């Protein structure tokens, strides 16, 4: 029996993780945490019986406490509550499925408590990878990637030696606006950007896929997870998301992981690693598939990718600025306050005026984020 604590249980990754738990009797839930969705978390508590739960939002947590007063579950709130769920004693695996940098401290708390981490929350590695990776080594804690591309790379590397890798080929779908110019994306609205061609995901990552920020974050995520140089990570566009990523070895061999676009595969792979579990669902049909199209990313129409390489290579607090500016801008775009192209323009402007701090501590990272948000809100409302 494996016991799971899910951080971000009400989201796209969180609910798909619970679907897997629902159909596998050898998985059990001991803690569930989310932002503010009282009704869904209540329903999840009634179905999965965790002994600890948390809503970040204090008022929502108070409401939840009343609603589940008939159950033996401890309801917590705030950052302390998230960290308690992350370090909850019975948990064998912590699923990091919160969206955004708010996940950093819970992820670090899980590592410090010696939990195996199944990590979807890429913003944590992008901004604090230089702290999280050494911390995981120090505590001898495995970080199992849930992001589909990184899971693909991780699967391909099984039985191979990392020091024989010459390149990582990270695949991108190109999102809903692939093939458009920057002039053509200028008037795109949230409803257009929220239509991802292949994947059904949370709103923030869906917008990130439309801008290509998601791929930029994934380049930085790959650097930390696999310890490769930025020059050895290449993004290739594969519109149907059939190839989930590839690795080229020193002898020229290229190994890939393919499959239908279903996040339950990478989630289950992380939960059962190193085993594989049967997973129902559609299979690839090579007879009817036709061509697998491959192209290069369009860095002029989608400047988020070159900006991410610049942020990653600069290092220090620059990836935090890239990520925090994006988190602010995506929320503003979804609220109808800024245009689609403004997202990447804001990231570029914030990076241009940022004075980098090398090897930032956790406090420095969180302070850089706070300052950046405050200045964007002051300048742009």
Positions in the binding site for ligand NAD (CB under 6 A): 8-14, 33-35, 37, 56, 82, 97-99, 102, 120-123, 147, 199, 201-205, 263
Instruction: Note the Cα 242 to chain centre separation in Å.
Output: 19
> Of the two residues 252 and 281, which places its CB atom closer to ligand NAD in the complex?
281
> Of the two residues 181 and 324, which places its CB atom closer to ligand NAD in the complex?
324
Question: What would the DSSP string read from start to end of 64-97?
Answer: HHHHTTTSS-EEEEHHHHHHHHHT-TT-SEEEE-
Closest contact distance (angstroms) between CB of 41 and ligand NAD is 8
Closest contact distance (angstroms) between CB of 23 and Mg ion is 24
Alpha-carbon separation of residue 304 from 297, 344, 363 (angstroms): 11, 6, 26
> Of the two residues 64 and 201, which places its CB atom closer to Mg ion in the complex?
201
172 half-sphere exposure, CB direction, 13 A CA radius: 31
- The interface partner of residue 245, options being ligand NAD, Mg ion, none and the CB cut-off 5 to 8 Å by kind, is none
**CB closest to ligand NAD, residue no:** 11
**Which pair of tokens denotes residue 284?**
């690839």
Closest contact distance (angstroms) between CB of 71 and ligand NAD is 20
Q: Binding to Mg ion by residue 221, rule CB under 5 A? A: no
- The interface partner of residue 259, options being Mg ion, ligand NAD, none and the CB cut-off 5 to 8 Å by kind, is none
- Out of 123, 147, 327, 369, name the contact with Mg ion by CB under 5 A: 147
Stretch that binds Mg ion, among 146-154, 158-166, 271-279, 318-326 (CB under 5 A): 146-154
Alpha helices in the chain (DSSP H): 12-23, 38-48, 58-67, 78-86, 104-112, 122-138, 148-157, 182-185, 190-193, 203-211, 213-226, 264-272, 304-314, 318-334, 340-353, 362-380
Question: What would the DSSP string read from start to end of 12-67?
Answer: HHHHHHHHHHHH-TTEEEEEEEESS-HHHHHHHHHHH--SEEEESSHHHHHHHHHH
- The interface partner of residue 343, options being ligand NAD, Mg ion, none and the CB cut-off 5 to 8 Å by kind, is none
> Of the two residues 359 and 377, which places its CB atom closer to ligand NAD in the complex?
377
Binding-residue total with Mg ion (CB under 5 A): 3
> Of the two residues 206 and 317, which places its CB atom closer to ligand NAD in the complex?
206
């Amino acid at each position: 029996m494996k016991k799971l604590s899910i951080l971000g249980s009400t989201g796209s990754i969180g609910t798909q993780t619970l679907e897997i738990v629902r159909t596998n009797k050898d998985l059990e839930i001991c803690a569930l945490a989310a932002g503010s969705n009282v009704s869904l978390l209540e329903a999840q508590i009634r179905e999965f019986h965790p002994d600890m739960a948390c809503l970040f939002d204090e008022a929502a947590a108070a409401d939840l406490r009343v609603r589940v007063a008939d159950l033996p579950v401890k309801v917590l709130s705030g950052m302390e509550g998230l960290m308690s769920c992350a370090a909850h004693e019975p948990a064998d695996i912590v699923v990091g499925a919160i969206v955004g940098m708010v996940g950093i401290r819970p992820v670090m708390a899980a590592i410090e408590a010696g939990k195996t981490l199944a990590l979807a929350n890429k913003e944590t590695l992008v901004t604090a990878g230089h702290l999280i990776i050494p911390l995981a080594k120090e505590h001898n804690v495995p970080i199992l990637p849930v992001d589909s591309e990184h899971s693909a790379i991780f699967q391909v590397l099984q039985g191979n030696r990392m020091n024989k890798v010459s390149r990582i080929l990270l695949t991108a779908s190109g999102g809903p606006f692939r093939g458009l110019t920057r002039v053509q994306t200028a008037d795109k609205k949230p409803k257009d950007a929220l239509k991802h061609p292949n994947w059904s995901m949370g709103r923030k990552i869906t917008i990130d896929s439309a801008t290509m920020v998601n791929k930029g974050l994934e380049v930085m995520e790959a650097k930390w997870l696999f310890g490769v140089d930025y020059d050895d990570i290449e993004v290739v566009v594969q519109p149907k998301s059939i190839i989930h990523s590839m690795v080229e070895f020193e002898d020229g061999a290229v190994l890939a992981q393919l499959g239908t676009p279903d996040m339950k595969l990478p989630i289950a792979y992380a939960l059962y690693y190193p085993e594989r579990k049967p997973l129902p669902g559609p299979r690839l049909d090579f007879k009817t598939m036709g061509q697998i199209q491959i192209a290069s990313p369009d860095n002029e129409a989608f400047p988020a990718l070159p900006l991410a390489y610049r942020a990653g290579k600069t290092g220090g607090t620059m990836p935090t600025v890239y990520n925090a500016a994006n988190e602010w801008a995506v929320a503003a775009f979804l609220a109808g306050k800024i245009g689609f192209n403004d997202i990447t323009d804001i990231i570029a402007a914030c990076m241009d005026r940022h004075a980098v701090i090398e090897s930032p501590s956790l406090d420095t990272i969180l302070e850089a984020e706070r300052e950046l948000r405050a200045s964007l809100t002051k300048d742009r409302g």
